[in-house]
Amino acid sequence: MKPERANCSSRRIVFLLLFVLAALFTRPTAGSPPQNNSKEELLVLAGEMGHPGGRLVVALRAEPKTLNPLIALDAPSREVIGAMQADLVHINRATQLTEPALAKSWKISPDGLRYTLVLRSGLKFSDGYPLDADDVLFTFRVYLDEKVHAPQRDLLLFDGKPLSLRKTDSQTIVFQLPKPYGVAERMFDGWAILPKHLLEKPYEEGKIAQLGALATRPNEWAGLGPFRLKEYVAGQRLVLERNPYFWKADEKGNRLPYLNELVFLFVPSADAQVLRFQSGETDVISRLGAENFSVLSRQEGNYTMVDAGPGFEYNFLFFNLSDPTEKTPAEIVQRQKWFREAKFRQAVSAAIDREAIVRLVYQGRGAPLWGLVTPGNRRWQDEKLPHPPRSLDRARTLLKEAGFSWTSASDGEITLLDSGGKPVEFSVVTSSSNADRAKMATLIQDDLKQLGMRVAVVPLEFRSLLDRVTQTKEYDACVLGMVSPDADPNVDVNVWLSRGGTHLWNPSQAHPATPWEAEIDRLIDEQMYARTFEQRKKLYDRAQELLREYQPMIFLASPDILTGAKKSVGNFRPAVLEPYVLWNVEQLYLKNDAVNATR
Amino acid sequence: MRGRRAISGWLVVLVALHACVLFAGFFAPYDPTEQDRGRPYLPPMRLHFLDNRGHFHARPFAYALKLAEGSFDQYEEDTRRALPLKFMVRGANYRLLGLLPSRLHLFGAENERIYLLGSDAYGRDQLSRFLYGGRVSLFAGLLGAGVTVLLGLCVGAAAGYYGGWRDDLLMRLAELFLALPWLYLLFALRAFLPLAVGPLEAFFLIVAVLGAVGWARPARLVRGVVLSAKERDFVRAARGFGATDGYLLRRHILPATSSVLLTQAAILVPQFILAEMTLSFLGLGVPEPVPSWGNLLSSLQQYSVLVSYWWMYLPALIMLPFFLGYLGLGSELQERAEPYKIER
């Protein structure tokens, strides 16, 4: 038997008493957790002092697929797991810098190959079981196991060789890297440390990937995050409760988190989320579109709306530059002749009115984009990257240089012809469920009409769009967006490298198709293993300039991160990195508990 | 007598409405695809006869609207700049009925665009888009309804009149069509079609899809009517006198189905215009930037548009007379077909 879970409806004192009693008298008979009497080293967080209690309700776009950090890929799962798990070193989403988490300190050897991490003492999982170095060793053994198929596994490989780790004592772990790694201690962010006492048996039986379904019983799941599993109602909500063993405290020494409960409601559409927020059913809202944001700010009620500034989402247009196979339709092969011409792509880029995209699609709440790194990424942005304004003249000159010409019909409509006299016509696919990108495509269509290109916008259902772009490669051009999950550029490595799966214009190449792609590969590989930030930045800037020169991705715009919260939510400080509002969930509190307690 | 007058009344209304749509190039002041990027979501301009000093002008005019400081979609009237409404002006090129090139428009203003129904997210004139969009939607709706009703009539009549295994076969087929998960079939259809579908192909595609999806319901209705009609005394008598199947169907049975069919058609036209919206979502509808009523309505699916820009509803309101016209005509025709039935 495990320590009893008290019902949350009972008073707090009863809860605590029961808990103490349970902890004292109902210790499990088999596999008893080793006693851990060392003093707890809590991490003290600065910030507004809150008071305990209450619950916070958040809407999720979809039901999370899993609670298991080993297999989670979808955003809702990651958001929930973020509140239930913790990592060794954490990236502060507000400062975008690393700070101690489960590891209270770390040392990097002068050659950059050995990382020594010291764990906080007195750490416990949310089921009361103490954590030590063995759990960390177990965690990385599982992540590195090929049979588990953890999606993040690649990040632990350096030129195909895995990192290795050993413990020197129960608090100290030494990571040995095969090569120096530029990302340094940031690489420890996001690796949820797993409870060996719960997962070792399933792992050895090969069943670890099946664990973590939402219907898991609360006492069969544990983490190191501020909240732990309480209840799951299929199709409606997932309720997390306060982890009483959490390892952070506020400046007065009160153990965090403040909230008793964190409730995730499953609300499928963005508009429905806005309505729920407006009616007061949810307490915070994020991932808002500009239109909904201005609706909410116009009729401001008892909530505050915050524009956190440009985020890490980059939207871009790209042409199909993949190698044709026997199955590729002849028209696409024919059009690819234009697309492969760098001047054609440069002309398209010059003709696009990015300012109009920011104004009409994001209502001015966004930034025009000329490179992959968004203005939200203050540290890595390339300030020297030129921002040429829209110029149809330049576009026309470029097209002329590439051998294109124009004819005009009797009613004044001009048509662009290629060197063989064929009119330039192609289609742009976009996701029909994303109104923003469909709008961008419509604006681009109009921009390019002025160059005499006839562009058809084809909205496709998202899955069939991805299938076309990454599998069948039967498309001409596509407007898509991506979000970097971290400020370090290494998270986008699969976009940059020609062998990467999200190198969208020509994914998963065996060998780089063009000299400039080979050069980008070299630069990106080199910066990954460079030692200092300055060296990396220089290499990375060069890679960005190559992208700008050859325009395989024509960058369009980056939207601001738009969020809102009830006025009663304290410590609400949205960040531009995911999870935008819940990154400091342990510090969030409700200013007047009474209102919420009666709900 | 009254019935005939009512019918011609409805017909006149419908013809007038359709003429507006048919001659969209002339009645619409602007090119429906032209974007005015400085004026997204501009509210309808009000026409004035009195200026702000109280002077009367015989020629109606509107005040130019300018963006409020620091705003994306809030406009204020600039009372220093009046835009008098001019008639028979020269403007964007178009082809009348798709044939005659022309530049003449019913109305417009000098130097500045005038928006009587406001503008959409890209600053395109809603009035022009409505008129041009009607061409696609009304004719796709009408043609689709025609195909549907015709197919339904043939299948339903055959099933009801001949009965037996033919009836079983046709009605099971109809049930199969009603039970098919159409959305997923359309996804599959989309995958087989070429990526970019031109406006004309899209138009016929819409008609074909609507016809294919819609025939089962009218077929079942017609079958029911035919079943009861063929057992009526006068039909039996005619058969007794040796009338052929063709004669019976033509003279006695099919006329009995006309009321059902007309009501069906009148209901189907508005329904199909909405269906076109769904097809656009799947990439099977009329592609941007070509307007259609379905496209115009689809912006209303967004909550923010619903609550912020009331003039986006206007196209839906102006569609009402068209639909009312069809329904009115349908009911009058029905009364005429069965005059003895109304005197209850």
CATH number at residue B269: 1.10.3720.10
Same domain, B94 and B230: no
Q: Do B37 and A476 touch (CB under 8 A)?
A: no
Taking the CA of residue A337 and the nearest CA in chain B, the distance in Å comes to: 19
Q: Do A439 and B121 touch (CB under 8 A)?
A: yes
**pLDDT score recorded for residue B283:** 64
Across B175-181, average pLDDT = 87
Cα Rg for chain B, rounded, in angstroms? 25
* Chain B neighbors of A364, CB-CB under 8 A: 72
- Alpha helices (H) along A194-269: 196-204
pLDDT over 50 (residue B19): yes
pLDDT band, residue A154 (cuts 50/70/90): confident
Same domain, B198 and B69: no
Taking the CA of residue B210 and the nearest CA in chain A, the distance in Å comes to: 20
Across B140-169, average pLDDT = 90
Tokens of A320: 């199909």
Q: Go through the domains of chain A in sequence order and give each one's CATH number.
A: 51-283+568-598 (3.40.190.10), 313-559 (3.10.105.10)
**Domain boundary, last residue among B58, B89, B114:** B114
* Chain A neighbors of B305, CB-CB under 8 A: 291
Side chain identity, residue A536: R
What is the DSSP code (8-state) at residue B125? B
Same domain, B238 and B294: yes
| % of chain A beyond a pLDDT of 70 | 92
Tokens of A554: 């024509």
Q: Do A429 and B195 touch (CB under 8 A)?
A: yes
Q: Identify whether B319 is part of a domain.
A: yes
Q: Do A274 and B282 touch (CB under 8 A)?
A: no
* Chain B neighbors of A410, CB-CB under 8 A: 101
* Chain B neighbors of A446, CB-CB under 8 A: 33, 35, 122, 289
Residue-wise pLDDT for A78-124, tens only, equals: 999 999 999 999 999 988 889 999 999 999 999 889 999 999 999 99
Greatest distance between any 2 Cα atoms in chain A: 93
Chain B CB within 8 Å of residue A307 CB: no
Taking the CA of residue A554 and the nearest CA in chain B, the distance in Å comes to: 21
Rounded to the nearest integer, the mean pLDDT of chain B is 84
Highest mean pLDDT among A322-331, B68-77, B123-132 belongs to: B123-132
Q: Do B302 and A271 touch (CB under 8 A)?
A: yes
**Domain boundary, last residue among B114, B138, B160:** B114
Q: Reduced to 3 states, what is the DSSP secondary structure of residue A248?
A: strand
Residue B6 CA to residue B328 CA, distance in Å, equals 9
Chain B neighbours among A 264-283 (CB < 8 Å)? 271, 274-275
Q: Identify whether B285 is part of a domain.
A: yes
Same domain, B233 and B142: yes
Q: In terms of C-beta density within 10 A (0-12 exposed, 13-18 middle, 19 or more buried), how is residue B339 classed?
A: exposed
* Chain B neighbors of A460, CB-CB under 8 A: 190, 283
Taking the CA of residue A574 and the nearest CA in chain B, the distance in Å comes to: 23
Across B95-112, average pLDDT = 83
Please name the member of A353, A432, A458 whose beta carbon is closest to the beta carbon of B281: A432
* Interface probe with A: pick from B34, B35, B190, B201, most Cβ of A within 10 Å: B35
pLDDT over 70 (residue A25): no
**pLDDT score recorded for residue A26:** 42
Please name the member of B93, B287, B307 whose beta carbon is closest to the beta carbon of A457: B287
Residue A572 CA to residue B94 CA, distance in Å, equals 56
* Chain A neighbors of B282, CB-CB under 8 A: 432, 461
Taking the CA of residue B34 and the nearest CA in chain A, the distance in Å comes to: 8
Full-prediction pTM beyond 0.95? no
* Run of H or E residues at B244: none
Q: Do A295 and B303 touch (CB under 8 A)?
A: yes
Residue-wise pLDDT for B234-243, tens only, equals: 888 998 998 8
Please name the member of A363, A411, A441 whose beta carbon is closest to the beta carbon of B72: A363
**pLDDT score recorded for residue B3:** 64
Q: Which residue of A has its CA nearest to B309?
A: A295
Q: Which residue of A has its CA nearest to B304?
A: A292
* Chain B neighbors of A298, CB-CB under 8 A: 308
**pLDDT score recorded for residue A398:** 96
Residue-wise pLDDT for A298-324, tens only, equals: 876 789 999 999 999 999 999 999 998
Comparing A531 with B175, the larger pLDDT belongs to B175
Across A516-523, average pLDDT = 94
Same domain, B186 and B311: yes
pLDDT over 70 (residue A597): no
Same domain, B104 and B49: yes
Same domain, B90 and B179: no
How many beta carbons lie within 10 A of that of residue A385, not counting itself? 16
**pLDDT score recorded for residue A593:** 54
* Run of H or E residues at A227: strand A227-233
Interfacial residues of B (vs A; Cβ cutoff 8 Å)? 33, 35, 37, 40, 72-73, 93, 95, 101, 121-123, 187, 190-191, 195-198, 280-283, 287-289, 302-305, 307-308
Chain B CB within 8 Å of residue A411 CB: yes
Q: Do B44 and B115 touch, CB atoms closer than 8 A?
A: yes
Q: In terms of C-beta density within 10 A (0-12 exposed, 13-18 middle, 19 or more buried), how is residue B293 classed?
A: buried
* Chain B neighbors of A461, CB-CB under 8 A: 187, 190, 282-283
Residue A420 CA to residue A409 CA, distance in Å, equals 18
* Chain B neighbors of A274, CB-CB under 8 A: 303-304
**pLDDT score recorded for residue A7:** 42
Comparing A134 with A500, the larger pLDDT belongs to A134
**Looking at the DSSP assignment, which residues form a beta bridge with residue A318?**
A478, A553
Strand-pair category, A405-408 with A425-431: unpaired
Q: Which domain holds residue B191?
A: 130-336
Same domain, B190 and B232: yes
A-B contacts (CB, under 8 Å): 93
Residue-wise pLDDT for A363-420, tens only, equals: 999 999 999 999 988 888 888 889 999 999 999 999 999 999 999 887 778 999 999 9
Torsion angle, CA of A115/A118/A120/A123, rounded to 10 degrees?
80
Give the residue from A595, A579, A586 showing the smallest Cα distance to A223.
A586
Q: Which residue of B has its CA nearest to A446?
A: B35
Please name the member of A291, A356, A475 whose beta carbon is closest to the beta carbon of B302: A291
Q: Identify whether B22 is part of a domain.
A: no
Q: Do B281 and A292 touch (CB under 8 A)?
A: no
Across A496-511, average pLDDT = 89
Q: Identify whether B26 is part of a domain.
A: no
Q: Do B72 and A294 touch (CB under 8 A)?
A: yes
Q: Do A417 and A404 touch, CB atoms closer than 8 A?
A: yes
Q: Reduced to 3 states, what is the DSSP secondary structure of residue A332?
A: helix
Same domain, B201 and B283: yes
Q: Identify whether B310 is part of a domain.
A: yes
Please name the member of B93, B121, B282 whose beta carbon is closest to the beta carbon of A411: B93
pLDDT over 70 (residue A32): no
Taking the CA of residue B303 and the nearest CA in chain A, the distance in Å comes to: 6
**Domain boundary, last residue among B59, B80, B114:** B114
CA distance to A70, A317, A469, A470, A553, per residue, from A502 (Å)? 21, 14, 10, 8, 12
Contacts of A244 (CB under 8 A, 6+ apart): A19, A126, A255
Taking the CA of residue B16 and the nearest CA in chain A, the distance in Å comes to: 29
pLDDT over 90 (residue A197): yes
**pLDDT score recorded for residue B153:** 92
**pLDDT score recorded for residue A567:** 92
pLDDT over 80 (residue A31): no
**pLDDT score recorded for residue B284:** 73
Same domain, B67 and B204: no
Q: Do A399 and A451 touch, CB atoms closer than 8 A?
A: yes
* Interface probe with B: pick from A431, A458, A469, most Cβ of B within 10 Å: A458
Q: Do B196 and A458 touch (CB under 8 A)?
A: yes
Tokens of B110: 């000098």
**Looking at the DSSP assignment, which residues form a beta bridge with residue B65?**
B77
Tokens of A429: 């696919």
Across A167-192, average pLDDT = 90
Q: Do A538 and A526 touch, CB atoms closer than 8 A?
A: no
Across A424-431, average pLDDT = 92
How many beta carbons lie within 10 A of that of residue A6, not counting itself? 18
pLDDT band, residue A494 (cuts 50/70/90): confident
pLDDT over 80 (residue A575): yes
**pLDDT score recorded for residue A8:** 41
How many beta carbons lie within 10 A of that of residue A499, not counting itself? 14
Same domain, B56 and B205: no
Q: How many domains does chain B have?
A: 2
Chain B CB within 8 Å of residue A450 CB: no
**pLDDT score recorded for residue B99:** 78
Please name the member of A292, A364, A438 whose beta carbon is closest to the beta carbon of B304: A292
Q: Identify whether B342 is part of a domain.
A: no
Q: Do B122 and A411 touch (CB under 8 A)?
A: no
Across A311-340, average pLDDT = 92
| % of chain B beyond a pLDDT of 70 | 95
Q: Do B132 and B32 touch, CB atoms closer than 8 A?
A: yes
Q: Identify whether B302 is part of a domain.
A: yes
**pLDDT score recorded for residue A17:** 43
Comparing B57 with A596, the larger pLDDT belongs to B57
pLDDT over 80 (residue B21): yes
**pLDDT score recorded for residue A13:** 47
CA distance to A250, A270, A276, A437, per residue, from A434 (Å)? 41, 11, 21, 6
Please name the member of A291, A445, A475 whose beta carbon is closest to the beta carbon of B288: A445
Q: Identify whether B145 is part of a domain.
A: yes
Same domain, B102 and B249: no
